[in-house]
Amino acid sequence: MMKRHLLIINALCLILALTSCDRRRNDKGYEYFPDMAHSLTYETYQYNPVLGNGQSMSLPAPNTVPMEMQPYPYDATPEGRELAAMELVNPHSVNEEALIKGKEQYTIFCSHCHGEKGNGDGFLYTSGKYVAKPASLLSEKMKSSNEADIYHVITVGYQLMGPHGHMIRPDERWMIAIYVKNELQKQ
Amino acid sequence: MTLMKINCRKKIVFSYMFTLISFLTLNPIVGFSQNGADLFEKHCRVCHHIGEGKLVGPDLLGIEERRERKWIASFIENSQKMIQDGDPIAVQVYEENNKAVMPSFTQLSSNEISSIIDYIKNWKPAEEEVFTVDINKKTGFKHDEILRGERLFYGLIRLEDNSIVNCTDCHNTETSDSLNWNPSAIDLAKSFIDINGMKIYESMTQPSSDLMEKSHNFKMNEQEIYYISAYLSELSNNQLEDHKIFPIKLMLFILFAVLMTLALIDLLFTRIIKYKIIHGLVLIIGISVHAWLAYQEATNLSRTQGYAPDQPIKFSHAIHAGENKIDCRYCHHTADYSKSSYIPSSNVCMNCHNVVKTGKNSGNFEINKITRAIDNGTPIQWVRVHNLPDYTYFSHAQHVNVGKLDCQVCHGNVESMHIVEQVNDLSMGWCINCHRDTEVQFEANKYYSIFKDMESIDKSGRHIPIHVDDVGGIDCMKCHY
């Protein structure tokens, strides 16, 4: 009698054990009552079977403008750059806060190519990973340009440098420009 | 003795002559042009093409016919100086190319510069080869071609050059615990079948990276490559198979189940072992091991700690964030003001990879996937690693911007991971513990400034910091609503 009980218990345990444990790294494991754990609506980066291109995060419909979007009318040509440098006005004033924010953003987005000091000796270049020499921000050409010029180049890119307008918000682009003009170039 | 001496001398003379001859003949031709090609690849390719049109700088095809050799050499050495000196052609070139500044190459010797010019001068477009088989065919292979390709791929038949190569030695067909930098067989097949994908004949005959050249030290003829491509087109429908793992926990469970059964049988019926303390010990240890396993498995339900899935591209955070010291927020740039931190789109990759075309570990195979995604207009489907259930609200902005936490607090040392792994269990207890222990940062932080006064209320004159739970950090509705 006892023996049979034990066998049943052990068999039950075995069945339990066989359905669990020892995951591969590709394996997510098991869930227990995943009520409301998974979103019924499609999440931002999720594959979307409804939309044609399969992306939940879509571009706005053609001929529409997203809310709060500021159109940027200058293109990535030398003429566009000159025009932007003439017409754009920096809405921010030079103060401590802007310089701190500018430095933080510069360190994140610019310093690995243009270097901590802005002389073009960023780590990616000095370590030999990126073979093209990034431009020095301390050259005569850059020193004679204004903040709007730097803002424009960050937004649409220049030569090998890709556009960073979609990565850095406008205010912070201005603050980077302020930091370059008022701190890096004055050292 | 004398014979040996003569032999020796003969050898010396012979080897001397050989080196002399090779110096005189091989070096100037092979060595020089090779050097020019390498130098061109290293210094010029980023901005110039030969015969493929304008890049940042002009196309250099037939530059010798257009300009004097001396002019080219001095322009390579220091173009800006020539422009400032008012050389009319230099100024004209500068104006024509959107005033793009060509960096100076004063570090190159005049010999090196002239070898670059020689290379450009002698460059010829690759001659069209005539093939007996259709090397560009991607689908519609016959069954026996596929079978033959499979045998070649698994190294079951000899190649024409009499070597036996098993492709699956490097190009795995199963998943693995560690990261295999070589493209898996399925990866190869997928990139082969793609319209803009790998041109198999080209990549097999002219390896694009040193890494590939080293491992592909055999020769395949076009017929064999054709068979391989037949098998690859078949393989592209498959998925990687799961690799076998040794189930340690399961074995432990069974072992103690058996031991406990034996102990009970012996205790009640057979009674071979005299000392009952042994039965007792086995039973106690067995039960605690089983309880421990059950506890582990029960808590791991719905949690994915240790999850480290294979991504569609073998992107290594250890190289990008660790070795190259790129800030996390360069790519994940919305972390400080958005609910989710940004998964970089392909054009963020292209900010660097328009220049960096070969990776340290994977050659150019993985980087080509990005260019292909852009050419095809298909997004890269990264696999999500860290995920909270839908009933828990989590915002990156709140934690990164207001909480001023480093990414590593929750995500672990991602900068040392080749494959991103979920380090923390992301359980509710883990969240709550952190909210109890973390002090609110008031410095340069307007968000919680009204709670600053709480900090100064202090009876014994001791500084009592404000923790996250003091400002409502463990209220239910903070995360569940």
Indicate yes or no: CB of A24 within 8 angstroms of CB of B177: yes
d(CA B137, CA B133): 9
Q: What is the model's pTM? A: 0.79
Helices (H) and strands (E) in chain A, counts: 8, 0
Mind listing the pLDDT tens digit for each residue in B364-407? Answer: 889 999 999 999 888 899 999 999 999 999 999 999 988 889 99
Interface test mutation site (partner B, options A95, A130, A167, A168, max chain B beta carbons within 10 A) = A167
* pLDDT score at A2: 56
Q: Which domains does chain A have, with CATH numbers?
A: 94-184 (1.10.760.10)
Task: Search chain A and give the residue with CA nearest B46.
Answer: A132
All residues of chain B having their beta carbon less than 8 Å from the beta carbon of residue A7 are: 261
If pLDDT is split at 50, 70 and 90, which confidence band does B24 have?
very low
Interface test with A, best of B40, B107, B355, B426 (most A CBs within 10 A): B355
Q: Which residues in chain A have Cβ-Cβ distances shorter than 8 Å to B245?
A: 22, 24
Using the 8-state DSSP alphabet, how is residue A12 labeled?
H
Nearest-angstrom CA–CA distance, B391 and B140: 49
Write out chain A residues lying below 8 Å of B389, CB-based. Answer: 34, 36-38
What is the per-residue pLDDT for B457? 60
Q: Which residue has the tokens 């498995």?
A: B297
Minimal Cβ distance to B324: which of A2, A78, A129:
A129
Min Cα separation B237/chain A (Å): 20
* Range scoring the smallest mean pLDDT among A45-49, B31-35, B236-240, B451-455: B31-35
| Range 80-99 of A in CB contact (< 8 A) with B | none
Flag whether the ipTM exceeds 0.90. Answer: no
- Selected residue of B55, B98, B184, B367 to mutate for chain A interface (largest A Cβ count, 10 A): B98
CB contact under 8 A, B340 and A28: no
The one-letter amino acid code at B363 reads G
pLDDT at B92: 83
> Contacts of residue B39 in chain A, CB cutoff 8 Å?
none
Chain B nearest-CA residue for A129: B356
pLDDT of residue A11: 64
The amino acid present at A72, given as its one-letter code, is Y
- Does the beta-carbon distance from B249 to A44 stay under 8 Å? no
A10 in contact with B, Cβ within 8 Å: yes
Task: Compare all CA atoms of chain A with the CA of B357 and give the residue at the minimum distance.
Answer: A130
Asked if residue B23 has pLDDT above 50, the reply is: no
pLDDT at B31 exceeding the cut of 80? no
Q: What is the pLDDT of residue B431?
A: 94
Residue A187 to chain B, least CA–CA distance (Å): 24
Rounded to an integer, what distance in angstroms lies between the CA atom of residue B366 and that of residue B357?
Answer: 10
Residue A174's contacts (CB-CB under 8 Å, 6 or more residues apart) are: A90, A91, A92, A98, A147, A151
Domain-by-domain residue ranges, chain B?
A: 2-122, 143-235, 248-300, 310-388+398-426, 431-481
Q: Nearest chain B Cα to A18, which residue?
A: B250
- Residue A55 is predicted with a pLDDT of 87
The yes-or-no verdict on residue B432 having pLDDT over 90 is yes
- Residue B304: its chain A contacts at CB < 8 A? 28-29
H helix intervals, A42-116: 78-87, 96-109, 111-114
pLDDT > 90 fraction of chain B, expressed in percent and rounded: 33
Q: Do the Cβ atoms of B363 and B181 come closer than 8 Å?
A: no
**Nearest neighbour of B326 by CB, restricted to A6, A27, A112:** A112
Residue of A nearest to B350 (CA): A162
Instruction: Show the 3-state SS of chain B.
Output: CHHHHHHHHHHHHHHHHHHHHHHHHHHHHHHHHHHHHHHHHHHHCCCCCCCCCCCCCCCCCCHHHHCCHHHHHHHHHCHHHHHHCCCHHHHHHHHHCCCCCCCCCCCCCHHHHHHHHHHHHHCCCCCCCCCCCCCCCCCCCCHHHHHHHHHHHCCCCCCCCCCCCCHHHCCCCECCCCCCCCCCHHHHHHHHHCCCCCCHHHHHHCCCCHHHHHHCCCCCCHHHHHHHHHHHHHHCCCCCECCCCCCHHHHHHHHHHHHHHHHHHHHHHHCCCCCHHHHHHHHHHHHHHHHHHHHHHHHHCCCCCCCCCCCCCCCCHHHHHHHCCCCHHHHCCCCCCCCCCCCCCHHHHHHHHCCCCCECCCECHHHHHHHHHHHHCCCCCCCCCCCCCCCCCCCHHHHHHHCCCCHHHHHCCHHHCCCCCCCCCCCHHHHHHHHHHCECCCCCCCCCHHHHHHHHCCCCCCCCCCEHHHHCCCCHHHHCC
Is the minimum CB–CB distance between A31 and chain B shorter than 8 Å?
A: yes
Closest in B248, B297, B333 to A20, CB measured: B297
Q: With an 8 Å Cβ cutoff, is A133 touching chain B?
A: yes
Long-range contacts of B168-176 (CB under 8 A, 24+ apart): B170/B215, B172/B240, B173/B240, B173/B241, B174/B240, B174/B241, B174/B242, B174/B243, B175/A24, B175/A26, B175/B240, B175/B241, B175/B242, B175/B243, B175/B310, B176/B243
Average pLDDT along chain A, 187 residues, taken 10 residues at a time:
63 54 84 88 88 85 85 88 91 91 94 91 90 89 91 91 91 94 88
Mutate to test the interface with A, among B302, B384, B392 (most CBs of A within 10 A): B302
List CB contacts (< 8 A) between B352 and chain A: 124, 130
Q: Do A133 and B391 touch (CB under 8 A)?
A: no
Taking one residue from A and the other from B, the number of pairs with CB-CB distance under 8 angstroms is: 151
**Chain A contact set for B347 (CB, 8 A):** 162-163, 166
CA B262 to chain CA mean position, Å:
52
| Contact by Cβ (8 Å): A31, B301 | yes
Nearest alpha carbon to residue A132 among A120, A142, A117, A118 = A120
Residues from chain B contacting residue A172 (CB–CB below 8 Å):
none
Q: What is the pLDDT of residues B84-118, one digit of tens each?
A: 788 888 888 887 777 777 877 877 788 888 888 88
The answer to whether the Cβ–Cβ distance between A24 and B340 falls below 8 Å is no
Better-predicted residue by pLDDT, B464 or A62: A62
| Fold (topology level) of B2-122 | Cytochrome Bc1 Complex; Chain D, domain 2 (1.10.760)
Contact B261, B283 (CB under 8 A): no
Residue B188: C-alpha distances to residues A42, B192, B228, B344, B383 (Å): 31, 6, 11, 24, 19
Q: Which of B253, B350, B389 sits opposite A37 (nearest CB)?
A: B389
Question: Does A25 sit within 8 Å of B307, measured CB to CB?
Answer: yes
Residue B471's pLDDT band (cuts 50, 70, 90): confident
Chain A 45-74, CB below 8 Å of chain B: which residues? 45, 47, 53-55
Nearest beta carbon to residue B301 from set A17, A30, A55: A30
Are the beta carbons of A131 and B379 separated by less than 8 Å?
A: no
| A58 to chain B: closest CA residue | B379
What was the pLDDT predicted at B205?
Answer: 82
